[in-house]
Each structure stands twice: as structure tokens, then as C-alpha cells.
Structure 1
Amino acid sequence: METQCQRVKLSDGHFIPILGFGTSAPEEVPKREDLEFTKFTLDVGFRHTDCTHAYKNEENVGQVIRSKIADGTVKREDIFYTSKVECHPYLNQSKLLEFCKSHDIVLVAYGTLGSQRLQWVNPNYPNLLEDPVLCAIAKKHKQTPALVALRYRVQRGVVVLAKSFNKKWIKENIQVMMMFDFELTPEDMEAIDGINRNMRYYEFLPVIDHPEYPYSEEY
């Protein structure tokens, strides 16, 4: 199934899909189930996959992509395989985004919907998708807070990654790649800008004493 999707031009002239699927999974999720969801995302139209060595699933994800190329679901030239930085309305990374744009770099963002409440996330942090500003804008546009958060990233020119183990939500997220049926107004964008807290869900505290720990620097 091919989709007509939003894309962003890279400095080499290629166009990357504005929405990608993150392949990280909690330890309690069986590898087979994780890979089945990766297959499903390709079937419903995702052409941008995120992975990293830390997930310990690169080989398996590669096998899934290879199988989908072999059965004709996708073409190799249509697939983008990337890594990423954290970016969401509570950490809007305005300074980093400005730097990237000035150097013709496309920012790929993870954690765009907040967090999945994994073990390394501070449980005292607020749930992004329950933020009253996002909820009010979502109600106005008859959308979900998740789609509003994704749309906010997209309108700022950020390539976003989404992650879910719910097929309904995966299909919902792919709507962001389709011909949009809603757009945030300048007032909406300004209101969401205003909820930035410079708050990082994924602090990776176990390595905070490492000499190359990156999050002590301003972004």
C-alpha cells in the first residue's frame, strides 16, 4: 500500500518522509511481536524507520526491511533508515532547530509524544498528551492531542518519529504523512510554543557522569 505523504528535502536532493517509525521496545515486549509491528508499519505506508545500536535489534529490523523489499511491498530507494534527538512541545529545541536550519540540516526527533513511561523516565514528570493547551487545541480541530503534537513538529519542519504497539494508533499516526485534513493556526503554534519547559524525559541518568554526556550543554 503506497501513501501520498509529506516529505522534507535533504541537502543531497533526496526527500525524506516527515514521519518515521521508532523500533525501540520495552524488554517485556517479545522480539517476534516487535518485528511484527515493524512489518505492519511498512504495510500501512511507513517508509522511514528509526533504529540504533542500543536497541540490539538492528539485524532483525534489517531482515524485516529486506523481506518487504523481496515481496514487493517497498523499494529500497524508498526506504530511509535513521537515528535521532529528543524533541517535543515540552522540549521544543528552538535553538537546535535554528542551528540545523542555518546549516541545511534536517532535524529528526524522537520522543515527539512525550514518553512511554519506561523505567528510565522520571515518573513525576507530567504526561505531555494530557497538557490542557494541547487538549484544547485538539478539541477545537476535532483531533487527538497526539496528532496535534505531531502536526506542531511537522509545521516547524522537523521530521518526527512515532512509536506504538497499537495498530489503531499506528494507522492514526500515518495520517500525518497523508494529505492533512487540518492545519494549526499561527495562534495555535504560538500557544504550543508557550508550553515549552526545556524538560527532557529521556535523561539517561545512568551515564550522567560520562565525560561525553551530552545533555549538560544547552540545546
Structure 2
Amino acid sequence: MANIPSVKLNSGYSFPLIGYGTFGGVDAPQQVYEGTKFALKAGYRHIDTAFVYRTEDAVGKAIKESGIPREDIFITTKLTESFHRPEHVQTALELSLKNLGTDYVDLYLIHWPFATEFRGFDFLDKTTREERQKAHRIDVPIIDTWRAMEKLVEKGLVRSIGVSNFTIPLLEDLLSKATIPPAVNQVELHPYLAQSDLVEYSKEKGIVLTGYAPLGNPGMIGKFGAKIELLSQPLILKLAEKYKKEPGQVLLNFGLNRGYAVIPKSTNKSRIESNLVYFKMDQEDIDAIIDLDKEQTIRAFDPVTILGHEFKLF
């Protein structure tokens, strides 16, 4: 079994800091199924998905066939923006539970910090990306959605709840009103988007960050945002040589050494295995990587490109 570091969430549950991401598999569920099954065999125990990814079925099938006890696998999925009205939250989760073939999820996140019009629970089956982007924004206070999320915890359908793509002001507002504080905030984190203020704030508040796109976007360069090639970045190559590791391992451990989870996505078996390596880095090297953010701050995943909606994320 791989040596995967973990932390205890404010909900009391153990959270593996290296997870297997399944975004981008909409057009290739078989790849996600095979990748997830291999990841579990390799030692991953944290699988990240979302209703809108349309990979929950593939993930659920892989978990079932893995033979690994359900309680040993940490499953994260997410509430999509058109299901924010309180009356839709539990039904949305129940659809995800059915897809995943489980009676609870370990972590349920509000995927984006805004709501769009409800178009039915089957909208993904009849809505193109372009049509989804044209969905009207509606006014559903985050706290109203959060109250419905808290009820899921009370009913045992969810063990921990959290958010995704939330800024410090959004977290401040939620923390001032919530009964159950968010356990996790999943955001884009990599050397060109280090978000140091958010990292420090989250530590102070006991919220664990999960960094998506920790490698930039090598498999989808320019598809959802700016082109980010981190695997060939000179400093990363230099540090890979210093630590006798691969560039991707340096990038992932940059996040792990800063104290947050990373969820790399790959369908390559050797890459899936190599992404599971954990090692300590010198603070001076972590600081040097953070300084790359001062040269240029860019996003691999732009909400306007993905969702057709603009809002301030950093």
C-alpha cells in the first residue's frame, strides 16, 4: 500500500491528501472506469467526481469491482449549480448515490458559488455545453443551499460537507451563518495560482483545501482556460533533478507540503502510479515555486469558458 498522507477534517473523518480526479471523462466513461479501477489497485483511497462530470457511474462500477471495502474509500462528489434550491438538494444527492452505488458519500461539495435555473434532474442528457452556458443565474442565497446540505449530514447521507471555488469573502460569509462549518474548499491550485492568502486563511479556520489542476492542464491544454505547461517549467525541472523525482511528482508534493490535498487526473497507468509518491521538500524550494505566481497568475479552468458565467475567483 502506498504511503498516502492524510489529515483529520473538522468533521472528524480522515481525509487522504492524494486523490484520483475524474474530470474530463464525459466523452470517455470507459477510460474513467479503467483509470479509477487501476488507481484503487495502485493504492488510491480518495476518488473525486461530480454529478456534472457524468463519471459517477464509471466510478461506482470501478469501486464495486475493486473488492475494497466501501468504508476504506473516501468518495467526493458535488452539487451542480442548477440544483441549489433547497428542495432540490437531497434529490440531487440521491441521484449521485444511485450512480455511485453507495448509500452515503464521504464529502459533498457545492460545486460553484452561484445558482442557475432548474432545468430538470435529467438536464445533462438533453443539454449541450453551449445550452448549459446560457442558463440564467438565479438568486438562491448560499446559506439556503447550505442548510439543505447540513440536513444531509443529519440524515447520514453525507459524512462531511464543503464547497468548491469559494473565495475568502464567500467563506467568511458562510462561516458567520453556518451551523456545520465547511470541511473542505476545492479550488484551482498550482504554481501559477498559488493563492497563498487562501491557503493561510483556510489553515486558520480549520478548512482543508483540495487543489484541482495541480499539474496545470497537460491533458486539456487551452480547452477550458489558459494554456499552462508546468511539467517543462525550468524551476520544476531543476527541483525534479534535485530530489531525483519526476516533474509531476514535484508539482503534486508542492501542494502536499503546503498542507492541502491534490487530485491529479490521468488515464496512463504509469502516471497514475507515479502520482502517488509523497516526499518532503525544503521550505526554500516551496517558497521559490510560490514566487512563480508573482511572475504570472493564470487559470487553467476559467468559469466563463466552462459555465458561461463570470465572477471573481481570485
**TM class by shorter-chain length?**
0.7 to 0.9
**Residue 101 (1) aligns with residue 203 (2):** yes
Counterpart of 1:66 (choices 64, 67, 80) is 64
Q: Where do residues 57-136 of structure 1 align in structure 2 (5 Å cutoff)?
A: 57-68=55-66, 71=67, 74-82=68-76, 84-115=186-217, 116-118=219-221, 120-122=223-225, 125-136=227-238
In structure 2, C-alpha distance between the alignment counterparts of 1:185 and 1:119, rounded to whole Å: 32
| Alignment coverage as a number of residue pairs | 203
- The equivalent residue for 2:4 is 5
Question: For residues 11-57 of structure 1, what are the alpha-carbon distances to aligned partners after superposition, in whole Å with 9 as ceiling and x for unaligned?
Answer: 122221110000123555x3223201111111110000010122112
Residue identity in the other structure for 1:147: Q
Q: Where do residues 1-219 of structure 1 align in structure 2 (5 Å cutoff)?
A: 2-26=1-25, 30-68=28-66, 71=67, 74-82=68-76, 84-115=186-217, 116-118=219-221, 120-122=223-225, 125-176=227-278, 180=279, 183-196=280-293, 197-206=296-305, 210=309, 213-214=310-311, 216-218=312-314
Question: For residues 123-149 of structure 1, what are the alpha-carbon distances to aligned partners after superposition, in whole Å with 9 as ceiling and x for unaligned?
Answer: 6x3411111111111111111111111
Q: Greater relative contact order: 1 or 2 (C-alpha under 8 angstroms, separation 6 or more)?
A: 1
TM-score when normalising by structure 2: 0.60
Change in Cα spacing, 1:217 to 1:36, as seen in structure 2 (3 Å) is: closer
Pairwise CA distance, 1:208: 6.5
In structure 1, C-alpha distance between the alignment counterparts of 2:248 and 2:30, rounded to whole Å: 27
SS of corresponding position for 1:92: coil
Pairwise CA distance, 1:217: 4.0
Residue identity in the other structure for 2:287: E
In structure 2, C-alpha distance between the alignment counterparts of 1:119 and 1:90, rounded to whole Å: 15
TM-score when normalising by structure 1: 0.84
SS of corresponding position for 1:129: coil
SS of corresponding position for 1:85: strand
Pairwise CA distance, 1:59: 2.6
Query: What is the CA RMSD across the aligned residues, in angstroms?
Result: 2.0
Pairwise CA distance, 1:66: 2.6
In structure 2, C-alpha distance between the alignment counterparts of 1:52 and 1:122, rounded to whole Å: 19
Change in Cα spacing, 1:207 to 1:44, as seen in structure 2 (3 Å) is: closer
Question: Of the two, which has the highest radius of gyration?
Answer: 2
Residue identity in the other structure for 1:205: V
In structure 2, C-alpha distance between the alignment counterparts of 1:207 and 1:34, rounded to whole Å: 20
SS of corresponding position for 1:175: coil
Q: Which runs of 5+ in 2 are unaligned?
A: 78-185
Change in Cα spacing, 1:128 to 1:95, as seen in structure 2 (3 Å) is: same
SS of corresponding position for 2:242: helix
Overall identity of the aligned pairs, in %: 34
